Amino acid sequence: MAEAAKVRITRPALRGREWLVIAGDHLAAQAGARVLQQGGNAVDATVAAAAAVGVVEPLRSNILGGESFILLWSAADRRPFVIDGIGYAPAGATVERYRELGGVPQHGLQASCVPGAFDGWVLALERFGTMTLAQTLAPALELAEAGFLVSELLHETMVQQFETQLKHPATAKVFLKDGRPYAAGERLVQPDLVRTFRKLLAVEEAHRSQGRGKALQAARDFFYRGEIAEAIVRFSHREGGLFDEQDFTRYEAAVLEPIRTAYREWEVLEIPPPSQGITLLMALNVLEGYDLKGWGWQSAETIHAMVEAVALTFADREAYIADPSFVKVPTERLLSKAYAEAQRRRIRPDRSLTWPVSGGLGDTTSITVADAQGNLVSVTTSIGAGSVVAGETGILLNNRVRMFHLDLNHPNVVAPGKKVRMTLNPAMALRRGRPWMAFASPGGDVQPQVQLQSFLNVVEFGLTPQEAVEAPRWVSTAFPNTSLPHKPGNALQMEPGFPEAVRQALEAKGHVLARPGEMGSVAMIVRDEQGGLHGGADPRREAYGIAW
C-alpha cells in the first residue's frame, strides 16, 4: 500500500467559520477582509483585493490596465458564472504591421491589448456584489495615496524590469526613485493613479441618485467612453501605439458559462476558450483512468502519468485553442471521456513524450474568497509582465499582444478585435452539486500544471489545502511557450524535495530534469460539509490569507 503523503508546512493552516480571503499580498488580503468585515460579500471583497493588489503588486496586476477572468459561485442563483474581463487586440494590430516591426514587441504600447479588467470588475460588482465602487476601492485608494512599503518581491521585479522602465518616462516616474528601483522597505506613493481613482469615484457619486447599478455604469463609461480612454488614446498616438477610441468604446465584458468535467466524485469548472483552462480539465480526464492513489504520492509512476497528460493537453492547446469568435474550437470533443481514453493510450509507461507532439484530433496574481452566504470566487488577474504607464493616468497597461502568433496558420494568430489565447484560468470544484473548492495560480503556462497538482494533492492524496499548495512541484516545458519566442523547452523542472530515487526513475523514462523556474503561487479554499472554510496560501511568493 502506498505511503501516506507528508508535507511539513511553513505557514499555519487557515480555518474560518464565516469567511476566508487569500490574495497574492498580505495588504490585498487585508483589503478583502476589511470589506467582508464591513458587511460586503465575497464578490465585493474580491474587487477590493484585486484593486489593492494592483497597487501593491503593480508590476503583476492592475485593475484598470490589465485583464481578468472571474469564476464565481452565486449562492443566490445556486450556480456558477464566468466574468470575461479580457480585452482584445486593437484595430491596428495586424500581422502585416508586426512583421514590418520585425515581430511583436515584448513591451511598450504596441504590445498592449485593450484593458478589459475594469469592465469585468464593474460587471461582477453590479451583477453579484452589494457595495459601491467607492466602498470596494477605498483600501486601494488609501494604499496608493498614503503609500506602502515595497516588498522584497516587488523590488526584485523592479530590478528585472529596470532597463525597460528607463525607456518610458511615465513608467520611470512611478516605479523608479532617483533613477533607480525602489529598495525593499521604501515607501511607494502613486499620486497619478490616485487622481484617476478619484475621478472614477466622483462620477459614481454624481450618479448615485440613479441607483447603484446606474452609478457603476457611469464610472465604467467614464473609463471606456470618456476622459480616461481619451487620455490613453492620446498617449498612444503620441508614443506610437495602436489604440484608437473605437477600441475602447466598443469593448464590453461578458458573463459566460464555465466549461466543466467530472473527476470521480467532483465536478471541476474552468474558464472557456480563449483561456487555456480547458487543459486542466483534459488532463484530469486522462488521469481519471489511472490508479494514482495506488501508485502513491510523488511516485515516479504518478508524476510520469501527470507530466505526459500535460504534454498531450498542451499539444491540443497549440493546435486548437484560441478566440472562439475567430476560430472553431472543438471544446465538446476535447472534453469527451472517449477522447481522454484515446489520449491515455498514447502514454507509454516507460518513455516520455517530447515536442513536437501532434494534436490528438487531427506575471499575474490570484485571489480566492469565500463568505458566510455560500458565495465562492476564484480569480486570476494580470497585466502580463507589464507594458508602460499611460501618461498622467498612472495606469500601467498590459502587454498581452506578445502572446499572439504571426503564423497565419496558427489558431492564435493576431488579428484586430481578437482576444489572445489567455493563460489565466482560475478553477473551482463542486462536490455533490455544491461549491467545494476554489483554486487559482499565476504563472503563465505553469498555472494549469500547478493547479492540477494542488487539486490532486487534496482529492487523491488527502493533503490539507496548506499542505497541498506547499508540496514540492514539477513543471513541464514539453510544448511551445505562450510568450515570445514561443519555444518549447522539452524539460521537466523539479523543485527540491522529491526523492532521489524518483528523480532517477523519471530520467530513466527519458525525462530531462532541470532546475525549477516559475512555480506559481496557488491560492486555495475548501468548504467542508459543515460549512467550515480551510485555506492554503502559497509561500513561493508573498500570498497571505485571512479568515474569521
Q: Which three cell numbers stand for residue 430?
A: 463542486
Prior bond to 90 cis, omega within 30?
no
Q: For residues 320 and 318, give the distance between their C-alpha atoms in angstroms, rounded to a whole number.
A: 6
Query: Residue 323 gets which letter from DSSP?
Result: -
| Active-site residue (options: 364, 381, 464, 477) | 364
Distances 207 to 43, 203, 216, 251 between C-alpha atoms, Å: 22, 7, 8, 22
With both helix axes pointing from N to C terminus, report the angle between 446-459 and 300-320 in degrees, rounded to the nearest 10.
140
Please say whether the dihedral angle defined by the alpha carbons of residues 32, 387, 442 and 182, taken in this order, is positive or negative: negative
Indicate if the alpha-carbon torsion angle 70, 244, 195, 203 is positive or negative: negative
Q: Is 157 a residue of the active site?
A: no
C-alpha to C-alpha distance for 198 and 259, rounded to whole angstroms: 37
| C-alpha of 177 from chain center | 29
Contact 261, 267 (CB under 8 A): yes
DSSP readout, 487-517?
A: -B---EEE-TTS-HHHHHHHHHTT--EE---
Contact 387, 397 (CB under 8 A): yes
C-alpha cell at 423: 493563460
Residue 180, Cβ neighbours under 10 Å: how many? 10
- Residue-by-residue DSSP string for 183-199: PTT-EE--HHHHHHHHH
**CA–CA dist 283, 270 (Å, integer):** 12
Tell me the H-state helices in 403-519.
446-459, 465-470, 500-508
Edge-to-edge strands of the sheet including 427-431? Answer: 14-16, 533-537, 523-527, 434-440, 427-431, 266-270, 259-263
Tell me, what amino acid is at 339?
Y
Catalytic residues: 364
